Structure 1
Amino acid sequence: MSSNAHRVLSKSPTACAPPPHWPPHVRYISEPHYHSSVPLQVRAHICPQSPSATHPSRSLTIIRRIVEPSHPAYGQFGLFAAKKIQPRVHIVDYVGEVHCDDRPQSDYDLSLLRTQDGLSVGVDAHSMGNEARFINDYRSINAKPNAVFEDRRTATGELRMSIWSGSESIKKGEEILVSYGKAWWHARTSPQTCELAAG
């Protein structure tokens, strides 16, 4: 086993103080946790070297309860711009448990990678995650998506699924909205809410 592979294998969730309005039943982490279902060679591809410790920047976002009765996630939570966010700005990474097992019951599971041999790698923020788990889908809201999912490599080479602002700026106080994609909705025959991250 190479030293890099060993460092990836030993990676554990990084816990730190959660932001305001964080649900007590979810573990707040700022770095991905790798589930045992992820093969060693896949871990090494996703995270080729040991990442340096990072601390989340909360200057761009704030978690708030949805108070508009017409909102599909009324009474739950969403992610909002804490200040004006310029176009094409990296807002936050979607952090959770990186896994290769099947999790059909989780509404917080996002696709990260499909390997050449067809193995699907996801990031599940159901039981542990960060602020990104509160981003809602734009459907049934009188708005259009103002942010997008895009994969990226960090400075240490780790593959992440990230949320970026779209082609227009996001105003202070505006809810950050993305498109979950048709596949997410097709997997749910009778969705009760558009929220990926109800908490």
Structure 2
Amino acid sequence: MPPPRGHSGLPKGWSENIIYLPAPSYSKKLSADKIKALVCLKSDLPPGAQIFTPSSPSLNVKITPISDSAHPAFGQNGLFANQHLLPDAFVLPYIGYVHDQADTDATSDYDLSLDRETGIGVDATKMGNEARFINDFRGVSAAPNAEFRDIYVDAGNGKVEKLVGVFVLSAGKSGKRAKGIARGQEILVSYGKGFWTERQSAEG
């Protein structure tokens, strides 16, 4: 059986108990209509739509153990820049198990919304790529240096997949983020206030 497209081994530091995915894994419970909302022909995209072809494993990042005892993820892992990443640069896609409400893990801390209209999410709890190791900025930095954006990725055979991508934040009007993310710097996003509200409710 040939390896999945774009797959060239596991990234250094990958967790053995997690399945590495170079491309999304779709739930068998997803209807054909919902899959059509995510996978379409390139010719169906609006003019000028950008299509990404990421490498797998990603050359932009490295999984690194967190050794700082003051870090909220101390003893776990974080995702760090493997090279200088400029403002607005595409870093890598967030890949995992694509599902809807019928197949949701309510205890997951790795589930992102992929298509709000159809209630589709992507969960990297048990399977995914390096993006699952991105930490929230709270307790680490004054602000995030990256964010999630919707993207289209080349799926081959004239088709594209709708995914969530990780991007370096723009420089901003003041230009204070003009340096982007330096090599060796941790990539940090905002999980959103909703994530922490739900987490506190669960812990309570």
TM-score normalised over the length of structure 1: 0.81
Deviates more, 1:163-172 or 1:71-80: 163-172
1:89 CA displacement: 0.5
- Give the whole-Å Cα distance in 2 for the aligned partners of 1:128 and 1:103: 13
1:57 CA displacement: 5.2
Report matched runs for 1:103-118 at 5 Å: 103-115=105-117
Q: Which residue of 2 aligns with 1:62?
A: 62
Q: Given that residues 9 and 57 in structure 2 are in contact (C-alpha distance below 8 angstroms), is that contact kept between their aligned partners in structure 1? A: no
Aligned-partner residue type, residue 24 of structure 2: P
Q: Given that residues 185 and 191 in structure 1 are in contact (C-alpha distance below 8 angstroms), is that contact kept between their aligned partners in structure 2? A: no
- Deviation track 1:119-158 (CA, whole Å, cap 9, x = no partner) reads 4110001111000000000011134200010001224331
The answer to whether 1:35 aligns with 2:27 is: yes
Give the match's secondary structure for 2:108. Answer: coil
Q: Given that residues 87 and 166 in structure 1 are in contact (C-alpha distance below 8 angstroms), is that contact kept between their aligned partners in structure 2? A: yes
**CA spacing shift, 1:16–1:190, aligned 2, 3 Å:** farther
Report matched runs for 1:35-54 at 5 Å: 35-49=27-41
Aligned-partner residue type, residue 95 of structure 1: I
- Give the whole-Å Cα distance in 2 for the aligned partners of 1:96 and 1:21: 18
Report matched runs for 1:90-101 at 5 Å: 90-100=90-100, 101=103
Mark the runs of 5 or more structure 1 residues left unpaired by the alignment: 1-12, 193-199
Give the match's secondary structure for 2:21. Answer: strand
Q: Which residue of 2 aligns with 1:136?
A: 135
- Give the whole-Å Cα distance in 2 for the aligned partners of 1:80 and 1:144: 16
In the alignment of these two chains, the number of paired residues is 176
1:70 CA displacement: 0.4
Question: Which of 166, 172, 186 is matched with 1:175 structurally?
Answer: 186
Aligned-partner residue type, residue 162 of structure 1: G
- Give the whole-Å Cα distance in 2 for the aligned partners of 1:44 and 1:110: 19
Aligned-partner residue type, residue 73 of structure 2: A
Aligned-partner residue type, residue 145 of structure 2: N
Q: Which residue of 1 aligns with 2:124?
A: 125
- Give the whole-Å Cα distance in 2 for the aligned partners of 1:190 and 1:19: 34
Q: Given that residues 22 and 57 in structure 2 are in contact (C-alpha distance below 8 angstroms), is that contact kept between their aligned partners in structure 1? A: no
Aligned-partner residue type, residue 44 of structure 1: K
Give the match's secondary structure for 1:154. Answer: strand
- Deviation track 1:54-81 (CA, whole Å, cap 9, x = no partner) reads 7415221100000111000001000000
Report matched runs for 1:71-82 at 5 Å: 71-82=71-82
- Deviation track 1:30-68 (CA, whole Å, cap 9, x = no partner) reads 100100221111101201249xx9741522110000011
Q: Given that residues 30 and 54 in structure 1 are in contact (C-alpha distance below 8 angstroms), is that contact kept between their aligned partners in structure 2? A: no
Mark the runs of 5 or more structure 2 residues left unpaired by the alignment: 43-52, 171-176
- Give the whole-Å Cα distance in 2 for the aligned partners of 1:114 and 1:37: 17
Q: Given that residues 16 and 29 in structure 1 are in contact (C-alpha distance below 8 angstroms), is that contact kept between their aligned partners in structure 2? A: no
**CA spacing shift, 1:74–1:91, aligned 2, 3 Å:** same
For the aligned residues, what is the CA RMSD?
2.2
- Give the whole-Å Cα distance in 2 for the aligned partners of 1:46 and 1:142: 34
Report matched runs for 1:7-22 at 5 Å: 17-22=9-14
